[in-house]
Amino acid sequence: MRIGMLILLSLVLLMSGCGNNMIDVGTAPDPAPPSNADSVKADQKQSGSQALEAEPEAQSGQAPKEEDFEVKVKIMDETLKINKNIEVVAELTNKSGHNIKLLHASPLIQVQIYDEQNKPLINALLTNDIGIMGTLKPGAVYNPDSSAFNGGKRLIKIDTPGNYKLVGTASFSVELSGGERKDFKLSSEPFEFNIQCTPGSC
């Protein structure tokens, strides 16, 4: 069995021309920057980028706490095989009872993969410094990163069978009264999964 493993991440971000970029994994196409005008109001239980309102509503004067948010990562596929696309979903939920004004870069949630020795398999991650802002309603599930990838899906491939785990880390700011901001960097619980051999491959 090979020791080295190749993680082919389809982390192809729609990059904007503004801001400075850090190191990336994957190849980014020539993108158009997201526009707040393209956002629409959605029901508070709706998942995806529409959960963030383009026109912020009034929020509570109380500063949000870490427990007001929940970061989750999960895999949509039931059967996972080596060298096959695996769809990963990462979400941020507003668990508070009030509107929260968010400001974040793209992607909102970075996803890292760890092997059985707890070794990270992604050497570098990119953050595009474009500012995306809006109001996250109470109970809303926010997944803006899906639209940043080709085909609207965050895909990974792993070429070695074994046990792995995913951890998502969300980085964002919350606008407070008086124009101040509070920064957050929150991680999800690990999502564990197993990659199996395809017939005749192991």
Asked if the structure places residue 104 within a domain, the reply is yes
* Cβ partners under 8 Å of residue 160, min gap 6: 1, 2, 5, 82, 195
pLDDT of amino acid 50: 56
Asked if the structure places residue 179 within a domain, the reply is yes
Asked if the structure places residue 9 within a domain, the reply is no
Asked if the structure places residue 202 within a domain, the reply is no
pLDDT per residue as tens digits for the range 137-187: 999 999 988 777 777 788 899 999 999 999 999 999 999 988 899 999 999
List the structure tokens of 126. Answer: 């990119």
Q: Is the per-residue pLDDT at 1 higher than 60?
A: no
pLDDT of amino acid 90: 94
- Count the residues in the chain: 202
pLDDT of amino acid 49: 52
**Residue 66, φ and ψ in degrees, nearest 5:** -60, -35
pLDDT of amino acid 54: 56
131 by DSSP, 3-state: which?
Answer: strand
Asked if the structure places residue 2 within a domain, the reply is no
pLDDT of amino acid 131: 86
DSSP per-residue letters across 163-188: EEEEEEEEEEEEE-GGG-EEEEEEEP
pLDDT of amino acid 60: 55
Top pLDDT among 65 and 58 is at 65
pLDDT per residue as tens digits for the range 104-138: 998 899 999 999 999 999 866 777 767 899 899 99
- ∠ at Cα 180 (132, 19), nearest 5°? 35
132 strand-pairing partners = 104
Work out how many domains the chain is built from and give that number.
Answer: 1
Asked if the structure places residue 150 within a domain, the reply is yes
Does the pTM of the predicted model rise above 0.75? no
Q: Is the per-residue pLDDT at 37 higher than 50?
A: no
Asked if the structure places residue 10 within a domain, the reply is no
Which residues form the domain of 139?
A: 40-195
Asked if the structure places residue 18 within a domain, the reply is no
Q: In this structure, what CATH number is given to the domain that contains residue 151? A: 2.60.40.2360
pLDDT per residue as tens digits for the range 85-111: 999 999 999 999 999 999 999 889 999
